[in-house]
Amino acid sequence: MALNFARPLEDDRRVFFISPDFNIQPVDEAIAAQLPLRTAAPAVPEPPLGRPDKDPAEGELGIALSRFTGTFKGRGLNMIFRPRNGPSSFDPADDPTAPGNALKDNLLEYDLTEEKLQFLGASVLNNVPNRGFGKQEHVNLKGTPYIQTVANVLNPVDVTPTSKLKTDIHFEPGLFMRVPALNATPGVDVAPQSGSPPRTPATITRMASIPHGTTINAQGLDPTKVEAGPPVIPLWDDVNGVSIPASSNRKLPTIPFTIDNPSQRVPKTLFHNTVYDDPDKFRIPQTVKGPKSVITQNVFYDPNWLLKQNNDKKNIVDHITFTVTTEKKKALQGGGTANIAFLSEPEIDKAAGPGSPPDNPDDSELNTTTFNPDANNPSRSNADAAHMEATFWISTVRNEIIIPPWNPKITLPICVPVDQDPSVQGPRAFRVRPNRPVIKPTRVAVHSTQIQYSQLVLLNFGPLSWPHISVATLVPDDPDDKNILTVDVDVDAAMVH
């Protein structure tokens, strides 16, 4: 059976559309102020969907990046744990409802997010030539520019998403680039054996700039095959759908740990925020439980559950997976993060005069229960983004629709999927362009692309690495922002018997 994808457009997109009132704001302050509804971004055409039918050559996008075309939108979750340096315009004043014995020098925040991810056409960049040296030949890179905008749409009352409480929290311009396989290991000038395979496989790199003052260069292997069925979203063994006792070590991705030592997680005696049912908590929203809450116990401890829940209610035909990381690995040198001076730990001038910051104390004086940089904390970094890793799952989702009787003289029919759970993200309806007249109601299968990601950023404050986790499920956007996709259908080939 032929796959019917949403109607492709010419690869000529050369403009990003950003809402004229887009304005990044501190999320916690905005929640307290209950900001009014913002105007939606101007509509953009739906993405062309499809996949290559041959192995990519140098200067081509590959099976993953070729699906990054057009505009995608959707919802997800953003979790950030950070120290709280006293009341300020960024943080709400002490909450009188918070228990008196709750530690208030740290804040755990969950946002329910609404996201738009826009890709420019690959023709904007065309081939990007990189010169080789020694035994390495010159190569051409290929990629697509993107802009990511994220808003918080959390309703703190019932912990559900609502666009009426929309606060912009993230803006990210960047590039996804494919680097072809290399015939020499970067940095090692060795001639390959005649007929031997490339020394370094093709890779994907994500280059991005974050307005807070961080740039990233994250790399990973370019996927080479499409896997059948839905992706397997990794979940932490501590959760797995069961209740987590308060005595558990809870070595979960949401727990801060000593810098460069993930096994040294902060115990619950310090951070009551990390216990789902603990009454001693200082977090946003302060209460995450509720009959309609999206932040269930599983999602609270591992945001990847949100991705799994979405996929469990969909018919996913196949998927592609790739991971990029800023960590330098033996097989992939390069990559990393760079931060502005405010974020990075500053150099201390020990010869400075009165009023200069104190010298770093000996590590033995470290007290992890305090984060006052003027006391006994050996680090003075401010949200130093030390590490980023993100896994992307690109899936083909199958829906069934019923085309009513139709002929070319009447308006194109709009068909609602008959097999889709209304609680999950996906096209609300398909505008169908049959390849022939339809005499009687006919059930057919149509397909669309879904992009999901799970991203971990480690922010170093003081002696600890604080996790900042983002997950989202994104589906193709449409010109009128009504979640209706146009699809060309070969009626006979797509018919469901």
DSSP codes, 283-340: EESS----TT-S--HHHHH-THHHHHHHHHTSEEEEEEEEEEESS--SSS---EEEE-
Pick from 227-241, 406-420, 438-452, 453-467: least confident? 227-241
Confidence band, pLDDT 50/70/90 cuts, at residue 257: confident
For residues 92-105, average pLDDT:
54
Number of domains in the chain: 1
Length of the chain: 497
The one-letter code for the residue type at 111 is: D
In a domain, 349, yes or no: no
Q: For 423-486, give the secondary structure using H, E and C.
A: CCCCCCEEEEEECCCECCCEEEEEEEEEEEEEEEEEEEECCEEEEEEEEEEEEECCCCCCCEEE
Q: Is the pLDDT of residue 250 over 80?
A: no
Alpha-carbon distance 391 to 233, whole Å?
A: 10
Which is it for strands 106-119 and 283-284: parallel, antiparallel or unpaired?
A: parallel
Average pLDDT for the chain: 76
In a domain, 129, yes or no: yes
In a domain, 30, yes or no: no
Beta strands in 120-190 (DSSP E): 128-130, 139-152, 154-155, 160-161, 167-179
CB 94 within 8 A of CB 87: yes
Sign, CA torsion 260/262/263/267:
positive
> What was the pLDDT predicted at 10?
43
Confidence band, pLDDT 50/70/90 cuts, at residue 57: low
pLDDT in tens, 277-321: 765 677 888 788 888 889 888 898 889 999 999 999 899 999 999
The one-letter code for the residue type at 268 is: K
371 closest CA partner among 107, 37, 36, 117:
107
Q: Which carries the bigger pLDDT value, residue 203 or residue 4?
A: 203
> What was the pLDDT predicted at 90?
53
> What was the pLDDT predicted at 185?
60
440 closest CA partner among 402, 412, 408, 411:
402
In a domain, 31, yes or no: no
In a domain, 325, yes or no: yes
Alpha-carbon distance 297 to 233, whole Å?
A: 17
Prior bond of 285 cis (ω within 30°): yes
> What was the pLDDT predicted at 207?
96
In a domain, 463, yes or no: yes
In a domain, 36, yes or no: no
Tally the C-alpha atoms within 13 A of residue 481's C-alpha that lie toward its C-beta.
Answer: 7
Whether the pTM exceeds 0.95: the reply is no
Q: Is the pLDDT of residue 241 over 80?
A: no
For residues 477-485, average pLDDT:
73
94 closest CA partner among 104, 79, 83, 80:
104
Helices (H), 66-141: none
- Structural domain boundaries enclosing 330: 41-188+198-344+366-494
In a domain, 8, yes or no: no
Per-residue b or e along 433-453, where b marks 16 or more CB atoms closer than 10 Å to that residue's CB: ebeeebeeebebbbbbbbbbb
Q: Is the pLDDT of residue 50 over 50?
A: no
Rg for the chain (alpha carbons), in Å? 25
Q: Is the pLDDT of residue 353 over 70?
A: no
pLDDT in tens, 190-225: 444 455 555 788 999 999 998 988 889 999 999 999
Q: Which carries the bigger pLDDT value, residue 464 or residue 2?
A: 464
Percent of the chain whose pLDDT exceeds 70? 67
Alpha-carbon distance 399 to 376, whole Å?
A: 59
> What was the pLDDT predicted at 88?
52
Alpha-carbon distance 240 to 234, whole Å?
A: 10
> What was the pLDDT predicted at 473?
96
CATH, residue 272: 2.40.128.20
| Cβ neighbours for 140, distance < 8 A, ≥ 6 positions apart | 58, 59, 127, 128, 129, 130, 180
Give the other-Cβ count within 10 Å of 353's Cβ: 6
Q: Is the pLDDT of residue 136 over 80?
A: no
> What was the pLDDT predicted at 343?
81
3-state SS assignment for residue 493: helix
